[in-house]
């Protein structure tokens, strides 16, 4: 979900370089998209309305936006924190990353951002508790399956049902179902694992 806001008090704005003035980023972590009309190299017409956004939340906790290069219509996904740092934080250099000083990935103000090496960024993440052991299975808030369902999926596949049939039965995609029944994912859960079973056309 993309959340839009605009005109915070005392908000400072600067252009995002490389996009011909189409985008501005603020010191509050907001992106201003100016109205744009253009025709790309293939002759396709594009119209983008003016809007304000703080981007969408990714699974790793960062807010990101998709930027569009007008002449080529090529797209670039970039973190809001990166745009803010490039516009307001000194010290940018090749190979450096952007670190959130307080560990809060949604606090994208310049005062909370700093340029650092990858090693420094990792050490900071461990020190502040941001980087911990990956949460597996249904304990992960993004998980769509449960351990009980995973076991039943594996049992049905081992009994002869196709991947597609199992996927349809449990409301999962064919790709994810294949990973589950072959043990590529949910490795900590039991149930029969069928690594070497021959697949048929019905499995796709």
Give the residue, 74 or 45, on which the prediction is more confident: 45
Beta bridge partners of 2: 56
Domains in the chain with CATH codes = 13-128 (3.90.75.20), 137-203 (no CATH)
If you average pLDDT over residues 169-198, what whole number do you get? 84
d(CA 190, CA 116): 42
Per-residue model confidence as pLDDT tens digits over 121-167: 888 877 776 654 445 565 555 567 888 899 999 999 999 999 999 99
Task: Report the interhelical angle of 147-158 vs 163-170 (nearest 10°).
Answer: 150
């Amino acid at each position: 979900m993309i959340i839009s806001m605009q005109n915070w008090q005392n908000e400072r704005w600067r252009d995002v370089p490389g996009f011909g003035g189409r985008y501005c980023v603020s010191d509050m972590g907001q992106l201003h998209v100016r109205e744009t009309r253009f025709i790309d190299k293939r002759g396709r017409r594009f119209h983008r309305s003016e809007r304000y956004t703080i981007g969408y939340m990714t699974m790793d906790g960062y807010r990101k936006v998709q930027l569009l290069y007008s002449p080529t219509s090529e797209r670039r996904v970039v973190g809001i924190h990166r745009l803010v740092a490039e516009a307001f934080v000194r010290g940018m250099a090749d190979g450096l990353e952007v670190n959130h000083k307080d560990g809060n990935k949604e606090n994208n103000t310049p005062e909370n951002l700093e340029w650092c090496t990858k090693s420094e960024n990792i050490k900071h993440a461990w020190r502040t508790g941001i980087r911990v052991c990956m949460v597996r299975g249904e304990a992960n808030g993004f998980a769509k399956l449960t351990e009980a369902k995973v076991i039943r999926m594996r049992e049905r596949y081992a009994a002869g049902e196709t991947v597609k049939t199992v996927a349809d039965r449990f409301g999962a995609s064919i790709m994810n179902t294949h990973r589950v029944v072959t043990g590529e994912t949910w490795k900590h859960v039991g149930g029969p694992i069928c690594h070497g079973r021959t697949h048929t056309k019905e499995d796709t």
